[in-house]
Each structure stands twice: as structure tokens, then as C-alpha cells.
Amino acid sequence: MAAKLAIAVPAKGRLKDTAAALFERAGLALRKTGHERGYSGVVHGLDGVKVAFLSAAEIVHQLKAGRVHIGLTGEDLIRETLPDVEGSVEFLRPLGFGRADVVVAVPDCWIDVARMADLEDVAAQFARVHGRRLRVATKYLNLTRRFFARAGVAGYRIVESVGATEGTPAAGTAELIVDITTTGTTLAANHLKVLEDGLILQSQAHLFAARGAEWTKSTMRLRDAILDQLSSAAKEVGD
Amino acid sequence: MAAESVRKFEALEAQAAILLDVFKRGGFEQVAPSIIQPADIFLDQIGEAIRGRTYVFTDLTGEELCLRPDLTVPVSRLYLERHPRADVEARYCYNGPAFRFQQKGASQTHPREFRQAGIECFGVADRDNADAEVVLLVADAVRSAGLKQFRFRFGDIALFFALLDALSLPERWRLKLRHYFWRPPAFHTLLSRLAKGEAPDSDGPVAEFAATLAAQTPSRAEELVANYLETNDLPLSGNRTMSEITERLLDHAADLRAEPLPREVATVIDYYLAVEASPREAIDRIALIGQGAGIDLGPALYVLYRRFDLLEERGINVDAASFATEFGRDLEYYSGLVFQIEVTGDKTSPIAGGGRYDGLLRSVGARAEVPAVGSAIHTERLLAAVKGLS
């Protein structure tokens, strides 16, 4: 029997429902097998495919390890998690949903700060007055480090934050944040502003192929079939 | 991942015994600082560049910890724990593992896990003698371990700060240049920007508002900033204060009207940072640069002369060493003498390194600055050099 194509889709989180709807519209409805709360399934009407319902972060790990052929997740997680993005995955297709910008945001009362270049000056002043570095709350450790290094900002340290990041400056546990934003409403409600050149990444949901997976003629044919059907369905989604 | 932390373990242990013996005979007490350290201190003081190379983890209570990336901070904490008032002289030596993530993959010259043997000297007010004592003892130690050919590279952070203090420039620029010294690419951008007289952005409502502050006293300016924030629904929040925000706006206003940094001043700084020669030749060149700029670096240079005389009197071949004004710009806690021991001119894999770090103890909890100087030997590299391996 030919090897099956393994595809990973979000089991929860902000991408889950839209992803399921997209497959449905493409005539590739995802069906769970076994228990309703289980984590494996099949694609209705397409033999030779097994579906894994996973968390967005786990999808990235499975892609990296080559344990699934195709994964649907956000570009932000891929770029944050994989040390060698191009060597690990292929960007098959942007899907037009799950859009989110990863940005650098500071309290809007910092009227003396507009750009990344201001941050190093603020860091110098902050160290002089408070005796320590600026703290940046984020879950994007690697994106932050790379972006700040490129901008020449070094006088900071990261504090890891996995939830309610936008509340940390007001709470005093960080001075600024790196976080995702879709409309900017949450940032504004927390009196934060995005730096003029503080856009780190414009992320959206993507279909990725794992370079390390076992690719055979049959899995490649299945990949192309899924891609074709999803592509025509995705065009209709609009933004 | 390698299953063995180090090959030639017996040879390393034997070498460590020799090094520690030299240190102890020199009056340094052997100590064993914790391998697991609080992450906070390293991250606050050394920043993300080192965090990227430090194994940081969270234990079951949620405390953020790390495997020590070097031993200077752990030994400094040990000194403060024993002497909370930091008011006594103490000399410690150690030998033990340190851990660093190697981005390009671990290798023999850049292992993930390595052993450092070293000395730290705290609270000695006679800095010149303490500096010389540490340099000489480390040289003695590597020589005793069998290293015959090596040379010193020196630098001095305090000399750059003395130069900045002597130059005529606005205090806000002096502070900036001091800070950016540790970020070489940004430093050079800043210097050329100041020299070209590029004004900061003068457009936008905030710049316009900042300009109106120019003639105000700091306290009046602070009131105006408070009003501005209130009018524009920008409540003050977080740890930065109104006076910090005001100070930067006033700096901005001053920069808008400032004359460019005189070309000569920027040139002096550029010339200074390009000096690399044998120590005495370097000092002569720096003196000339100072004279040309009409500034007196005498006292700072005298300290350097005296230090090299002391070293020479006690057997170091000073003329074979090199002195580079750029050297030491990568570790922000150094405050004076910096040095390393190299073989075959390899700058990137020194056998030993060290320097003066008078500010570090305050940042790990001391109430004031504490004179401190130390040095660490990369023992695997020393062994490889002694055995003629590369």
C-alpha cells in the first residue's frame, strides 16, 4: 500500500474554525475518526490522507521533525520557532486569513519615542536612572532578538509572557512589548502605540510542506491535489 | 550531542591542580560558586546578547534560573554573600564548568560546556597594584602549566571615558557616546551623525511641542509635559517617569538648535579608536592625539605608563604585547584595564582573559562601587596549546 500523506491542522485557537471551513469549502471536509474528542481524522472523499489535529505550536514541531508532510499554521510561529526556516519548510500557499502583525509597542505617554532608534537612547537613560535594562515582554523571543539586533538596540532584556502581554507595561513588569495585533484595538485600549518602524512581521495562516518528510510519488500527488482544491477555495474567501 | 563532557579528563584535572596551586600560593582562597544561578542578574546586567548564549530554564516553582555562562558574576555574588557590606579585601580562585550555547554548533575551541580556572580580587583600593597582581598571577599560572609562547593584548576602558571627559562637548552627547561605546556599529553612526550636524526630525506634533520647551527650566518643562499628556489623553503609566520623558524632549529641543559636533572632535575620537600598537608606542600616539586636540590626558596616561612599568619590572615583556583602544568593547561590565592572553595571534580564541569591573558589584547588590579585577583561563584551550594541538 502506498504511504499516506500526513497533514496537520489546528485543533484549537484562532485559526481552527476558519481552517476547517476552508477545507470544507474546498470539498475536503475534515472528519475526526474514532472518538469525537480524538485528535486524528481523515479527509472526506480523499483516500490516502491522514489528518492530525494539533496545537499551532505542535504543528511547527511536527513539520520540523518531518513527521507530517503538510501543516497549516501561522507564519509568526514558523519564523519564531525554526532556526532554519528555508531549510525546514516550504511555503506552499498563504491562505488569506489569520492575519496578524508582530509589532513593537510602547506606552503612548512616551511622546519622546517614535522609532526603534529612540529605544537605545531610552535604554541608556533608563539604565542611568533605574540601574537596569529595559524589559520587553513577549512570547516571540527569537523574532524580538533578531529584529532588535538589526535595529542596533541592545540595552534591553526579554521577559517571557504567554498571555495578557499588553497589560505588562501598566503593571510595571515590563517597559514595552512585542506582540501580535490585528486591528490595534487592544493596544490602544491599553494605551500602547506601535513604533513607526516597529513592524516585525506581517503574518497570516500558511500551508507549509516539511522538507524532512518522506516524499513519494503518491504523497506528492496528494499534496498537489489538496493544494489545487484549497487554492481555488481560498481565492473566494477574500480578506 | 556528545556523551562525554571532555576528553583528556585526567590531563585537565592535573592541569587544574597546577593552576589552583599557583593561585593559592598567590594568596587566593579556593571557592566553589553555584553552577545554577538566578537568571535575572545575568539578563539584567549582560543583556540579550548573552542570554542568546545562556541556558535559561524555569524550575518547578517558576523561578527563572540559568547554568552559569561564566564565573565572574557567580564569584561576585559569593563575595557579597560573605561580606554584605563589601568592605573587606578578598581574593578568590576557582576551577569549574561554565556553559554556553554555540550558535554555529559546538566545536573543540568553542565547546558548549567548558572549564574555567580563574581569580577575582575584590575591595583592593590600590587599583594599579591589584591590576598588576592579577595579570602577573595569570601569566605565572599558564607558564606553570607549560605554556611557553604567548602574548598579551591590553586595552583600557577608563582611558576612553577620560578622553570623552576631556573633550569639549555637550553633556547629553557625552552620556550618549559613553553608552554607545559598547555598541560599536551604532557608535560610529551616532558619531558621524553628530559631526554632520544632522538635526533630529523636526516634523510632527511632538517635535513641535518639544521645540516649545527649549527655553524652559526643567521643572517648568515637566509641568508643560504633564499638561500635554493630560490634554491628549495619554496617561502616564509604567516605570518611566515624567522627568525622564521631559529630559529626552529637552535633549531633543537642544539637538534641534545645536551646532554640529566640531569635525576635530569627531576626528580625535576616530583616531583614538584606531590606535593599536605595542603599549608604550600606543600611549605615545594617544598623547600626541590629545596634544593635537589641545586636551590633557596626562593623569590617565600616567596610570597606564605606571601599570606597564610595574608589569615589566616583574617580568612581563611589555614591548612584545599589543595595546588596542577598541579592545574590550564587547563586555559592558568592564571599567578599566582589559587584557587577554593569546597564542599565535589568534584573537578569537584567547587562552585567558580578564579585566577590571568596578561597577559590577553594585549591580548585583552592593551599595556602592567596589574595586574588582579578575581573570579566567579557558582550560581546554590552554591544554590544547600546551600539547601543541589546535
CA dihedral (B225, B231, B236, B241) in degrees, to 10, reads 10
Amino acid at B270: D
Mean pLDDT of chain B: 89
CB atoms under 10 Å from CB of A46, counted, come to 15
Query: Grid coordinates 600616567 are at which residue?
Result: B302
Q: How far apart are CA B33 and CA B92, in angstroms?
A: 10
User: Is the CB of residue B24 less than 8 Å away from at least one CB of chain A?
Assistant: no
User: Is the CB of residue A158 less than 8 Å away from at least one CB of chain B?
Assistant: yes
User: Is the CB of residue A188 less than 8 Å away from at least one CB of chain B?
Assistant: no
Contact B204/A114, CB-based, under 8 Å?
yes
pLDDT for B211-235, tens place per residue?
Answer: 888 888 889 999 999 999 999 999 9
Amino acid at B117: A
Work out the pLDDT band at B371, boundaries 50, 70, 90.
Answer: very high
pLDDT for B204 equals 64
pLDDT for B53 equals 81
DSSP helix/strand/coil, B60: coil
Residue A212 C-beta-side C-alpha neighbours within 13 Å: 14
pLDDT for A239 equals 42
Nearest of B126, B93, B84 to residue B371 by alpha carbon? B126
Q: Is the pLDDT of residue B41 over 90?
A: no
Q: Which of A109, A126, A157 sits opposite B48 (nearest CB)?
A: A157
- State the alpha helices, DSSP H only, in chain B: 9-25, 39-46, 48-51, 72-82, 127-144, 157-166, 171-180, 184-196, 205-213, 218-231, 242-257, 263-273, 279-292, 298-313, 360-363, 379-386
pLDDT for A33 equals 87
The residue of chain A with its CA nearest to that of B47 is: A157
The residue of chain A with its CA nearest to that of B43 is: A157
Q: Which of A125, A145, A175 sits opposite B247 (nearest CB)?
A: A125
Work out the pLDDT band at B356, boundaries 50, 70, 90.
Answer: very high
DSSP helix/strand/coil, A80: helix
DSSP bridge partners of B122: B90, B372
- Flag residues of chain A having pLDDT under 70: 1-2, 36-37, 235-239
10 Å CB burial of residue A35 (0-12, 13-18, 19+) is: exposed
In this structure, chain A runs to a length of 239
pLDDT for B291-335, tens place per residue?
Answer: 888 888 888 899 899 999 999 999 899 999 999 999 988 778 899
The more confident residue out of B165 and B107 is B165
Highest averaged pLDDT of the listed ranges A111-125, B23-37, B155-169: B23-37
Contact A157/B44, CB-based, under 8 Å?
yes
pLDDT for B45-86, tens place per residue?
Answer: 766 767 778 898 888 888 889 999 999 999 999 999 999 999
**Angle in degrees, CA B54, A157, A117, rounded to 5:** 130
Q: How far apart are CA A146 and CA A10, in angstroms?
A: 27
Contact A130/B252, CB-based, under 8 Å?
no
CB atoms under 10 Å from CB of B318, counted, come to 18
Q: Are B285 and B276 in contact (CB under 8 A)?
A: no
Amino acid at A13: G
Q: Which residues contact B107 (CB under 8 A, 6 or more apart)?
A: none
Name the minimum distance, in Å, from the CA of B245 to any CA of chain A. Answer: 6
Nearest of A238, A236, A206 to residue A15 by alpha carbon? A206
* C-alpha distances out from residue B169 to B58, B164, B172, B176, Å: 46, 8, 8, 11
DSSP helix/strand/coil, A198: strand
pLDDT for B203 equals 61
- State the alpha helices, DSSP H only, in B167-217: 171-180, 184-196, 205-213
Amino acid at B89: E
Work out the pLDDT band at B120, boundaries 50, 70, 90.
Answer: very high
Work out the pLDDT band at B193, boundaries 50, 70, 90.
Answer: confident
User: Is the CB of residue A146 less than 8 Å away from at least one CB of chain B?
Assistant: no
Nearest of A127, A94, A123 to residue A201 by alpha carbon? A94
Query: Grid coordinates 579566567 are at which residue?
Result: B376
What percentage of chain B exceeds 70 in pLDDT?
95
Contact B179/A127, CB-based, under 8 Å?
yes
pLDDT for B100-110, tens place per residue?
Answer: 988 777 776 67
10 Å CB burial of residue A3 (0-12, 13-18, 19+) is: middle
The residue of chain A with its CA nearest to that of B184 is: A152
Q: Which of A111, A120, A125 sits opposite B234 (nearest CB)?
A: A111
Q: How far apart are CA B99 and CA B42, in angstroms?
A: 13
Q: Are B68 and B98 in contact (CB under 8 A)?
A: yes
For B55-71, letters b (16+ CB in 10 Å) and e give: bbeeeeeeeebbbbbbb
Q: Is the pLDDT of residue B153 over 50?
A: yes
* Most A-contacting residue of B48, B189, B251 (CB-CB within 10 A), to test interface: B48
Q: Is the pLDDT of residue B256 over 60?
A: yes
Q: How far apart are CA B231 and CA B169, in angstroms?
A: 36
Q: Are A196 and A114 in contact (CB under 8 A)?
A: yes
* C-alpha distances out from residue A87 to A68, A91, A209, B158, Å: 16, 11, 11, 46
**DSSP structural state of residue B259:** P
Amino acid at A235: K
Residues of A with Cβ-Cβ distance to B236 under 8 angstroms: 109
Name the minimum distance, in Å, from the CA of B330 to any CA of chain A. Answer: 11
Question: Mean pLDDT over residues B252-269, rounded?
Answer: 85
DSSP helix/strand/coil, A190: coil
